[in-house]
């Protein structure tokens, strides 16, 4: 099956998926640490996730250029 979204949106789609996954994981961990696993844990995670996902997406978009520069400075270039 071929992709549904044009290739020019690759970076945006990557940022979206990264934000979806990382926001869910971070919400789950932080809710567990702050309020425990008892009670309505999944509803509390969902409430935190609803806030965290859009914030995470914006952060990934905004921080991407800085991260690209840091990676370029960190990774040794192959000799020609």
36-69 tens-digit pLDDT: 999 999 999 999 999 999 999 999 999 999 999 9
Average pLDDT value over all residues in the chain: 92
CB 18 within 8 A of CB 60: yes
| Claim: this prediction has a pTM higher than 0.85 | no
Q: How confident is the model at residue 1 (pLDDT cuts 50, 70, 90)?
A: low
How far CA 1 is from CA of 4, 6, 79, in Å, comes to 9, 14, 37
- Cβ-proximal residues to 28 (8 Å cutoff; 6+ apart), any chain: 45
Could you tell me which residues come within 8 angstroms of residue 24 by beta carbon, excluding any fewer than 6 positions away?
Answer: 45, 49, 53
Q: What is the mean pLDDT of residues 17-33?
A: 96
């Amino acid at each position: 099956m071929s992709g549904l979204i044009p290739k020019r949106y690759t970076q945006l789609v990557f940022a979206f998926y990264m934000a979806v996954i990382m926001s869910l994981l971070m919400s789950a961990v932080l809710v567990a640490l702050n309020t425990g696993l008892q009670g309505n844990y999944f509803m509390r995670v969902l409430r935190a996730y609803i806030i965290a996902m859009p914030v995470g997406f914006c952060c990934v978009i905004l921080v991407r250029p800085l991260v690209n520069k840091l990676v370029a400075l960190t990774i040794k270039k192959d000799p020609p």
